[in-house]
């Protein structure tokens, strides 16, 4: 199994969300470890989330399972049923097609670092819970829930 040199994996800052939905996620960084290792069936990202940052807009997936594992710091997981604090060693799983939107917010004063893992399903649709936005893996475009483009 080849070792991945994490220092050589580019850090991608921010998100691909259209404005103004990109603002809460502008300070996050993602290192695509799964891509760096040549994985095709699932993705693994090393995420950093500074104080005040959001992991994403609150969302759920139609065809993808997703999981996070906290390495450092503290985040607040926000779901339909409320909020849960996650600390190092905690993990959370998000089964596909539940309709339970989720995201994490760093409300602490320290950097949070976590692994984000998910399947890569071509037919997946990501639906945002709190805003009029969704995206299909097939084309990666963000559109309104009625299908009109941003």
Task: Check residue 1 and give its pLDDT.
Answer: 61
pLDDT recorded at residue 62: 98
Q: Which residues of the chain carry a pLDDT beneath 50? A: none
Q: What pLDDT is attached to residue 32?
A: 98
Write down the CATH number for the domain with range 11-131.
Answer: 2.60.120.10
pTM of the model as a whole: 0.94
> Which runs of consecutive H residues, i.e. helices, occur in 1-150?
33-36
Output phi, psi for 130, to 5 deg: -105, -10
pLDDT at 106: 98
Determine phi and psi for 114, rounding to 5 degrees: -150, 160
CB atoms within 10 A of CB 53: 21
**Domain boundaries in the chain?**
11-131
Residue 148 and residue 67: Cα distance in Å, rounded? 30
Q: Distance from CA of residue 113 to its chain's centroid? A: 12
């Amino acid at each position: 199994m080849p070792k991945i040199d994490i220092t050589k994996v580019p850090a991608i800052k921010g998100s691909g969300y259209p404005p103004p939905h990109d603002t809460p996620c502008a300070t996050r960084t993602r290192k695509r470890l799964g891509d760096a290792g040549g994985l095709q069936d699932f993705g693994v990202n090393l995420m950093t989330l500074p104080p005040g940052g959001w992991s994403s807009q609150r969302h759920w997936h139609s065809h993808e399972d997703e999981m996070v594992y906290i390495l450092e710091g503290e985040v607040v997981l926000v779901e339909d049923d409320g909020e849960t604090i996650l600390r190092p060693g905690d993990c959370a799983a998000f089964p596909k097609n539940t309709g339970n939107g989720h995201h994490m917010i760093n409300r602490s004063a320290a950097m949070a670092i976590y692994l984000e893992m998910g399947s890569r399903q071509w037919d997946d649709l990501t639906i945002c819970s709190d805003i009029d936005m969704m995206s299909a893996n097939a084309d990666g475009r963000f559109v309104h829930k009625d299908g009109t483009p941003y």
